[in-house]
Structure 1
Amino acid sequence: MSNSDILLREKRDDKVLLLRLNRPEKFNALATDLLAAVADALDAVASDPDVRAAVITGSDKVFAAGADINELAQRDTDGALADPRPGLWARIRAFPKPLIAAVEGWSLGAGNELVMCCDLAVSGEGGKFGQPETNLGIIPGAGGTATLPRLVGRTRAMKMVLLGEPITAQEALAAGLVCEVVEAGKALETALALAAKIAARAPVAMQQGKAMVRAAFETEQSAHLTMERQAFAALFGTADKKEGVAAFLEKRAPEWLGR
């Protein structure tokens, strides 16, 4: 399959980009070419004013079942250290616009790490989330030990990593890994509705809001407060701030310009 086949792209009229992982014969395993396709697709719309939010999903039965085991089998330590994948993961995490995951079924290993790259995640009630890498004699390598405990807490992350056992959608909701659990088959519909609501809001504020919340995972609090105040002040010079205030005072819907 070409990259255009393994990742389906749809620009919607509501300024939302939909990305669908499409490797059913491999249960959407995130082989390097598929991961690169995701990074490329997000890079391509990072500065596109006609895309204000993005949704990534898999099939009705699986979001993504980890990395490609055949790729892992061929690598030794030197190969793992020279792997291009960390750069691809970094590009996905750096996507400046709101990114939402819609999960049905299994989200394992690299699939779960892709969910953690997203800002919000919606799961069908049959969703399963796990980091089973220790079953293969390795550990997670793209956020499963770095980001996961920051989201779900130390003890739950330890259990997921050390035992390699998945958690349910309801457990993921209670732990903060997903923001909503819906009827099976409704995750994409719900995620697209969330994305459309976000896309209808002030674009620059959405991007700054995302950036500042994500900075909480990487920045000491006093420095983060300074960053937050600078971002807050910068928004006061935008056309959207002027429009938002004017619309509120005039009791009308705002017309966001994205600047």
Structure 2
Amino acid sequence: MTVPTVVLEARDGVLVISIDRPEVLNAIDQPTAELLAHAFTRLDEDDRARVGVLHGGAKAFSTGADLRAVAAGQSPVVPGRGFGGLTERPPRKPLVAAIEGYALGGGLEMALACDLIVASRTTQLGLPEVTRGLIASAGGLLRLPTRLPHSVAMRMALTGERLTGEQAFDLHLVSELVEPGRAQEAAVALAARIAENAPLSVQASKRLVNAAVDGATDELLRLQAELQARLLVSWDVAEGIAAFKEKRPPRWEGR
């Protein structure tokens, strides 16, 4: 029997959605993306659930796409929903990310698609795609500049460097910083505070706040897809993936 890679737990108005693939640091394969999409649909459709919490494990929130699954023909992108069933169409209800350990690549992009982030001090957040000849193509490059100063967002985008949990908190990317092992607990407590408020008011408030910063998102998503499509057929992306597998520096040719 296949073991589910997404676990749901309902608590007093809060739906906790946990990614459970610790052996691959919660990298997202196609079945996991589809299960996550179903979980976010349940969050929106279940009247008992007013707020969601998206959680990984002790070592990683998610390290992005499962490259082995991608190489085998699987896609971690759910049509109409985006990477991990989340990044193109987040749920209507608030969603809080609870991060321990790594949130890299698509993992960080999923966290950025959430409304609030609670992270431990040992968290590491980054978009390393440029080190593989790619771009962060699940909205990370669009959302990061709305959450961070331009110079910080640009440096992360161009170097692939990571932020620690403490740095992210100081820069207001993370709304609550906790000691290791307490991210889920703190995120559920924050979600419960939100769930105490009028649900329609909360959803309307979320929609308006997002509209204030995401006015051109649809157009930007089209541009993102166009740029990524060009990169995927480049020589450099093949070289970046080969270098990663062979544990050597890539030899870029710009073609």
Same fold (TM over 0.5): yes
The aligned residue for residue 249 of structure 2 is: none
Deviations 1:44-95 (A, max 9, x none): 23122100001010111111012111244467xxx99xx8446222863331
Displacement, 1:200? 1.2
Q: How does 1:32-51 map to 2 (within 5 A)?
A: 32-51=30-49
Aligned residue identity for 2:63: A
TM-superposed deviation, 1:106: 0.5
CA distance in 2, matches of 1:101, 1:86: 22
1:181 aligns with 2:174: no
Aligned to 2:201: 205
Match of 1:53 in 2: 51
Q: How does 1:102-141 map to 2 (within 5 A)?
A: 102-141=98-137
Name the residue aligned to 2:9. Answer: 10
Quote the RMSD (CA, aligned, Å).
2.1
Distance verdict in 2 for CA 1:61–1:94, change over 3 Å: closer
Q: Secondary structure at the match of 2:58?
A: coil
**CA displacement at 1:35 relative to structure 2:** 1.9
Quote the residue 1:255 is aligned against: none
TM score, norm. by length of structure 1: 0.76
Amino acid of the residue matched to residue 155 of structure 1? Answer: S
Deviation, 1:7, is 0.2
Provide closer, same or farther for how the CA distance between residues 34 and 120 of structure 1 changes in structure 2, counting only shifts above 3 A.
same
Q: Which runs of 5+ in 1 are unaligned?
A: 221-259
Unmatched 5+ stretches in structure 2: 217-255
Where do residues 10-89 of structure 1 align in structure 2 (5 Å cutoff)? 10-12=9-11, 14-73=12-71, 84-85=77-78, 87-89=80-82
Give the Å deviation of 1:32: 2.6
Q: TM-score, normalised by structure 2?
A: 0.77
- Find the structure with the greater CA-based Rg: 1
Q: Give the match's secondary structure for 2:62.
A: strand
Taking the aligned partners of 1:6 and 1:110, their CA distance within structure 2 comes to 17
SS in 1 for 2:97: strand
Determine helix, strand or coil for the equivalent of 2:141.
coil
Kindly, what percent of the aligned residue pairs are identical?
A: 38
In the alignment, the residues of structure 1 paired with residue 193 and residue 42 of structure 2 have an alpha-carbon distance, to the nearest angstrom, of: 22
| 1:19–1:186 Cα change, 3 Å | same
Q: For the residues of structure 2 that align with 1:167 and 1:22, how far apart are their CA atoms?
A: 24
Whether contact under 8 Å (1:86, 1:142) holds in the other structure is: no
**In structure 1, C-alpha distance between the alignment counterparts of 2:215 and 2:139, rounded to whole Å:** 17
SS of residue in 1 equivalent to 2:140: coil
SS of residue matched to 2:213: coil
User: Where do residues 236-251 of structure 1 align in structure 2 (5 Å cutoff)?
Assistant: none
Once the two structures are superposed, residues 200-238 of structure 1 have per-residue CA deviations (whole angstroms, 9 ceiling, x without a partner) of: 111111111111111112238xxxxxxxxxxxxxxxxxx
Checking the alignment, whether the CA contact within 8 Å between 1:35 and 1:88 is kept in structure 2 is no
**1:159 Cα deviation after fit:** 1.2
